[in-house]
Amino acid sequence: MLKGLVEGLISADRPYRSKKQTEWEYRNLTNTPYLHGSEYLNELYEGAKKKEEYDCILQHLYNHQEVGVLEIESYAKLENKIIERYR
């Protein structure tokens, strides 16, 4: 029962988060030492409106190259989507 309650609360937050991303979320990407999941980064990609926001996502990926993040298909696809957007 508790598991269902927690899942409900998390899923209820998703529509709000995907519609309105804050500047802080994008700026935090360039400063955090932790690699965010590709699902979260794709949500940020979908919510991005400015080139600077896309740049923050790319910078986050590039900050984690030493662990081979771009060798993982989901992260590589995200990088390609952003790069293609500005070609």
SS (H, E, C) the chain: CHHHHHHHHHHHHHHHHHHCCCHHHHHHHHHCCCCCCHHHHHHHHHHCCCHHHHHHHHHHHHHCHHHCHHHCHHHHHHHHHHHHHCC
What residues make up the domain containing 39?
A: 2-85
Query: What percent of the chain shows pLDDT beyond 70?
Result: 76
Q: Domains in the chain: how many in total?
A: 1
Residue with tokens 């998703």: 14
What is the reported pLDDT for 12?
A: 47
Is the pLDDT at 21 greater than 70, yes or no?
Answer: no
Whether pTM > 0.85 for this model: the answer is no
